Amino acid sequence: MGPQFNRRDAIKRALAIGVVAIPSASLLSACASDSGSDKPDKPAATGAKSASNPLGVKKGAPLEAFIFKGGFGDDYVKAAEQVYNSEYGIKVKHTGTQGLGPKLQPRFASNTPPDVMDNSGADNLDTAALAKENKLQDLTPLLDAPTVDDPSKKVRDVLIAGTIEQGQFGTQAMYALNYAFTVYGGWYSSKLFKEKGWEYPQTFDQAIALGAKAKKENISLFTYPGKYPYYVHFDLLAQIGKVGGKEVLNAIDDLEDGAWQVDAVKQVIGYYEELAAKKYFMPGSEGMTHIQMQTAWTKGKAAIVADGSWVENEAAPTMPKDFDLAVGPLVGSGPSDKLPFGTIYAAAGEPYIVAANGKNPVGGMELLRIMLSKKETDNFTNTTKSLTCVTGAADGLSLTPGLASASAALKAAGPNVLNSRLQDWYVKLNQETLGNLTLQLLTGKINAAKWIEGAQKAADATKNDSSVPKFKHV
């Protein structure tokens, strides 16, 4: 997910979807340089601005791109780099990798960061901390630049509503361009459900009943990646918002006193406690990675996984051609919920950042401008089965089953789109502390009451920790 979250209402009628990065624990703070005011050793490269070079890229100036090579791969970035190379007479230095945090921590600390980065994956850097420490380039010049395809339109004018807010951190400046747009939910095989005569559950009670049916077929209702238990939060946190309303989710994001002790939280966590007690989670899930989880699911060992729309591409190696991938909206308690069935969690993700202290931040922004062109967004969607943050980017494209399902779910949700900002505002709290509590809950080691007690205590500790940057909904 990305930062900021006024967009939940904003995303409402967007018809595009894509992929989001899975953030991980804050990795920068302990080793960042001592001041956000550090200057690069040499002045950043800039050139003369023109109609064809609106940002003023200096031709021939080196550019370094450091790209997370996860579910989307990095070929789509390489394609945009080819355009950049032709335009500006260089060869972009490209690194496609996983585990960005450990590789980039020392480079940020020594003021020698790459120019542009896809800050995604399980070991990413804490974007919020980077922004607070003035390590990131303000991307406003990119937003105000004309698009590649239509000089009469600015980049900001073609982005799906909420994308800009998702890249802000309590400021007017945008520090991350979340390139992909992801729909989250319960992903399942329509073929399997049709063969078994199952309907996707709308309520917790229906889900429990489906779990019993699945168990008789030797199929687990759910599996999850115990190595990264925060995947479960893709559903869990948004379900709290569905049951209790957006204001309940906002209170959790804002670290308000007692935010975890309300009835909506008790209902949702109680549901997960019951699933665990009835053993509806696949045995062995606690030791799995996300790839192992997906493989077990595509092989029919589990009916549903909580995941993002990147799963269609990421799980492609093991997904049968007739799997008929689909996504279900958030399951809730029923008619008493503040938001109706059909409510979904969706967000702009895959955050691209440009280093303020890089040698060529202008070039970094120009590469992003190229990536937002129709040619490059089409390439991304066609090759990754995901959509970008550009409005109407999928128009005229043939959509895969999962992508079509996610797009339909987003359209049907209308204004009922949720996003928990806790997941990107307070990465360590979500992924480590709450993630550990969730793993204990799903394995039956603690009950719902203990989970809620631990969550409130952890949120309070985060709130009172002056070293952790704080954010609030506005």
Residue 290 inside a domain? The answer is: yes
| pLDDT number for residue 43 | 55
Cα–Cα distance between 288 and 307 in angstroms, integer? 14
Using alpha carbons, select from 405, 20, 15 the residue that is nearest to residue 193. 405
Q: What is the total count of domains within the chain?
A: 2
pLDDT in tens, 64-122: 999 999 888 999 999 999 999 999 999 999 999 998 999 999 999 999 999 999 999 87
Q: Are residues 337 and 447 in the same domain?
A: yes
Give every CB contact of residue 247 below 8 A, 6+ residues apart in sequence: none
Residue 280 belongs to domain spanning: 185-343+421-463
Q: Are residues 259 and 394 in the same domain?
A: no
Q: Are residues 88 and 192 in the same domain?
A: no
Residue 265 maps to which CATH number? 3.40.190.10
Cα–Cα distance between 114 and 67 in angstroms, integer? 10
Q: Are residues 59 and 150 in the same domain?
A: yes
Q: Are residues 174 and 321 in the same domain?
A: no
Residue 8 has pLDDT above 80, yes or no: no
Band the pLDDT of 385: cuts 50, 70, 90: confident
Report the predicted TM-score, pTM, of the whole model to 2 decimal places.
0.76
Angle in degrees, CA 134, 139, 142, rounded to 5 = 160
Residue 128 inside a domain? The answer is: yes
Please state the rounded mean pLDDT for residues 281-285: 98
Strand partners, 351: 178
What value does the mean pLDDT of the chain take?
Answer: 89
Residue 4 has pLDDT above 60, yes or no: no
Note the Cα 62 to chain centre separation in Å. Answer: 30
Residue 11 has pLDDT above 80, yes or no: no
Q: Are residues 125 and 221 in the same domain?
A: no
Q: Are residues 244 and 366 in the same domain?
A: no
> Whose structure tokens read 């954010």?
471
Which DSSP letter does residue 125 get? -
Give every CB contact of residue 273 below 8 A, 6+ residues apart in sequence: 441, 447, 448, 451
Q: Are residues 191 and 125 in the same domain?
A: no
| CB atoms near residue 447 (< 10 Å) | 16
Residue 249 inside a domain? The answer is: yes
Cα–Cα distance between 234 and 342 in angstroms, integer? 15
Residue 2 inside a domain? The answer is: no
Q: Are residues 392 and 425 in the same domain?
A: no
| pLDDT number for residue 398 | 87
Per DSSP, helices labelled H in 6-134 are 7-10, 75-88, 100-109, 127-132
pLDDT in tens, 12-65: 323 333 333 333 333 333 333 333 444 444 557 788 999 999 999 999 999 999
Cα–Cα distance between 274 and 237 in angstroms, integer? 17
Give every CB contact of residue 127 below 8 A, 6+ residues apart in sequence: 2, 3, 23, 119, 136, 169, 175, 176, 351, 353, 424
**CA-to-CA separations, 383 to 137, 271, 320, in angstroms, rounded:** 29, 37, 18
Note the Cα 252 to chain centre separation in Å. Answer: 18
| pLDDT number for residue 14 | 33
- Classify the phi-psi angles of 445: left when phi > 0, otherwise alpha if psi is within -120 to 50, otherwise beta: alpha
**Polymer length of the chain:** 474
Please state the rounded mean pLDDT for residues 218-240: 97
Cα–Cα distance between 461 and 74 in angstroms, integer? 38
**CA-to-CA separations, 166 to 73, 132, 351, in angstroms, rounded:** 23, 15, 9
| pLDDT number for residue 9 | 31
Q: Are residues 54 and 173 in the same domain?
A: yes
